Amino acid sequence: MNCKVLVIGGGPAGYVAAIRAGQLGLETILVEGDRLGGTCLMRGCIPSKAMIHAAGQFAAMTRAAGKSPLGISLSAPPTLDLGQTVRWKDGITDKLSTGVGALLKRAKVQVVNGWATMVDGKTCEVASAKETIRITAEHVILATGSEPVALPHIPFGGVVMSSTEALSLKQLPERLLVIGAGYIGLELGIAFRQLGSAVTVVEAADEILPLHDKQLTDPVRRWLDRSGVAVKTGCKAVALTQDAKGAVVTIEDQTGRRQDVAADKVLVTVGRRPKVTGWGLENLDLDRTGPFVKVDDQCRTSMKNVWAIGDLVGEPMLAHKGSAQGEMVAEIIAGKRRHFRPVAIPAVCFTEPEIVTAGLLPHEAEKQGIEVVVGLFPYAANGRALSMEAGDDNGFVRVVARKDDHVILGVQAVGAHVAELSAAFVQALEMGALLEDIAGIIHVHPTLSEAFPEAALKALGQAIHI
């Protein structure tokens, strides 16, 4: 087979690149060894958010079985059929995967199912159950994604699982130990706690969500403490013994003191790494940056007409970053002038409560020698937050701006449903908005979005509602 563009990998980076290439009239083939959608759609973003939603619904019904200030009550606590929850989650991922296939077909992209191995910078061999197909292309886009990192002394298998297995459990573990308090570990740990598991979280750093500042993570830490989640920071998991009944993990703190923690399941979420083995990377002469494939601001690699996008090329390992890179590369191949130079790539932790970050945190700006002003508006002063029982979780919206010209450098928020504000935050950054711009925009009342201009007013010394 021959084509103009060959895409290796059908995740959010690869399938978006293929669809855009097809839309632009480029003869395109996409090779995927599993199901269309990749980690995000099949094993990560979408299924985890589905499970988080289900857990939130279960927790709300459980609270209604007690005394509720809303006057809503249930005569008995809810029951959980985790198998049915997983089937519902799988139905969502099946629907979306089928949808991706339809979008590729509409863009006239040919999908080849099978495992691709690169032979050289223009050719790959695809092994399927029936045959091996050789595909030659003028341009190759590598979008192989990433995979969970295992601990050398606590490998995956048995009771030890990655997020992939955690999202497909048929039975709720009574005791869950989560190793790693980054966003994946906390999102899933919180969901399992809401479903009824006893959860312990172990983190080697001194704080949970170590990439965020303490002001942002404090509301999450309070939820964990209030909900009975045992959090052990400054500790490492150093040993594991397991049998048919479960596991015992030995953890060690920074003083060398050890403690055993029993669990029915152990969820390891210590990070992800680019998928660089098993598909013929060694047959390509590509420069590397650590474990990642090195690219420029157009996602060009060191080989002519070989491109790399998504998790394969570095942090942040986020689906929306990969999709943006895939669209850009397709347009460059089609002759358009594009560069990947975002002002900010927003990120969300779907914890309790949610956290949004876009642009620079206050300490990051100061580290760069930038004098800033910071404005913070609490959810406790927002009418919509109070009306939806979200005013007492210590949530807020925070704006970071240069002191001299008031250009906004970063926006962060923590609280219920703040993920939906992320678009407004990153749009302000990309448009080069000033504090005065945001403060001068009329926002709908009553909405959570009102906290954004209020934070800008606070930074300007003109706060109205606090």
Cα separation of 131 and 144, whole Å? Answer: 22
Q: What is the pLDDT of residue 128?
A: 82
Share of the chain above pLDDT 90, in %: 93
How high is the pLDDT of residue 117?
97
What's residue 314's pLDDT?
Answer: 96
DSSP state at residue 310: G
Share of the chain above pLDDT 70, in %: 100
Instruction: Write down the mean pLDDT value for the chain.
Output: 96
User: In the predicted model, is pLDDT for residue 244 greater than 80?
Assistant: no
Q: Global pTM? A: 0.94
The sign of the dihedral angle between the CA atoms of 65, 380, 421, 215 is: negative
Domains, in order of start, for the chain = 2-146+273-333 (3.50.50.60), 160-270 (3.50.50.60), 347-459 (3.30.390.30)
- What is the model's pLDDT at position 245? 78
Q: Which helix (H) or strand (E) holds 356?
A: strand 354-359
Of 93, 267, 246, nearest to 179 by C-alpha is: 267
Catalytic residue from among 153, 339, 363, 445: 445
**Prior bond of 219 cis (ω within 30°):** no
What is the per-residue pLDDT across 100-150, written as a single tens digit (0 to 9) for each? 999 999 999 999 999 999 999 999 999 987 899 999 999 999 999 999 999
383-395 pLDDT, tens digit each: 999 999 988 889 9
> What number of other Cβ atoms are within 10 A of residue 424's Cβ?
18
pLDDT tens column, 176-201:
999 999 999 999 999 999 999 999 99
Distance between the two ends of the chain, CA-based, in angstroms? 66
Task: Mark whether 445 is an active-site residue.
Answer: yes
- C-alpha–C-alpha distance, residues 18 and 104, integer Å: 7
**pLDDT tops 80 at residue 274:** yes
